[in-house]
């Protein structure tokens, strides 16, 4: 039996178990076993490089300089045509994507005219907020350690909480200004 047939058979068994009026612990164990069977057979499936269909019967074919994994239909077509025509993925341009978004929701990409070094940045933040450079450096480190990008409001809340844990005494306005300036740099 092929992987797809095994998956279909296991799925039918799962349906039969789920349609029972009462299920038991043994049924749950059987369901978990069937789930494992399905996952094992799913790993055996591969994608055709030309049409993108998922199949368990894939042939690796080389015609001229092109090598591809092909399903049955695409393999036959490639042999008849004498060449492999790989599908190309289309990338959506950001310009086209922004056309469909209302002007109020568009985000402009921040552009820096000249990159500031950290000493100049810290001096500017120190002048704006009257915080010590050591506190500014600690806040900057907290911002840099954020694992994924956040919006400004969430970043301020996160940095505020981290500053409280680090026992930094910084006012709300100074914190917001500092985070804004450090994120803009």
Q: Which residue, 125, 123, 134, 129, is CA-closest to 163?
A: 134
- Note the pLDDT tens digit of each residue in 145-173: 887 667 888 888 888 888 888 888 888 88
Q: Which residue, 79, 60, 76, is CA-closest to 68?
A: 60
Mean confidence (pLDDT) of the chain: 78
The three-state secondary structure class of 68 is: strand
Question: Could you tell me if 170 and 178 are in contact, meaning their C-beta atoms sit under 8 angstroms apart?
Answer: yes
Using CA atoms, how far apart are residues 175 and 97, in angstroms rounded to an integer?
Answer: 35
Using CA atoms, how far apart are residues 37 and 44, in angstroms rounded to an integer?
Answer: 11
Question: Could you tell me if 85 and 73 are in contact, meaning their C-beta atoms sit under 8 angstroms apart?
Answer: no
Token pair 């039969």: residue: 16
pLDDT value at residue 12: 92
Rounded to 10 degrees, the C-alpha dihedral 127/128/131/133 comes to: -50
Q: What is the mean pLDDT of residues 74-82?
A: 83
- Note the pLDDT tens digit of each residue in 5-29: 888 999 999 999 888 888 888 988 8
Q: Which residue has the higher pLDDT, 80 or 111?
A: 80
């Amino acid at each position: 039996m092929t992987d797809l047939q095994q998956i279909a058979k296991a799925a039918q068994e799962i349906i039969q178990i789920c349609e029972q009026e009462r299920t038991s612990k043994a049924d749950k164990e059987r369901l978990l076993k069937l789930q494992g069977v399905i996952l094992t057979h799913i790993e055996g499936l591969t994608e055709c490089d030309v049409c993108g269909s998922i199949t368990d019967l894939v042939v690796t074919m080389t015609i001229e300089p092109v090598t591809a994994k092909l399903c049955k239909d695409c393999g036959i077509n490639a042999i008849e045509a004498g060449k492999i025509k790989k599908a190309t993925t289309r990338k959506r341009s950001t310009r086209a994507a922004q056309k469909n978004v209302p002007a109020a929701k568009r985000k402009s990409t921040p552009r820096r005219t000249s990159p500031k070094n950290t000493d100049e940045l810290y001096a500017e933040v120190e002048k704006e907020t009257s915080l010590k450079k050591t506190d500014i450096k600690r806040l900057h480190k907290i911002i840099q350690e954020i694992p994924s990008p956040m919006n400004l409001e969430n970043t301020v809340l996160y940095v505020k909480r981290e500053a409280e844990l680090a026992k930094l005494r910084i006012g709300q306005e100074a914190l917001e200004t500092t985070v804004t300036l450090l994120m803009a740099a």
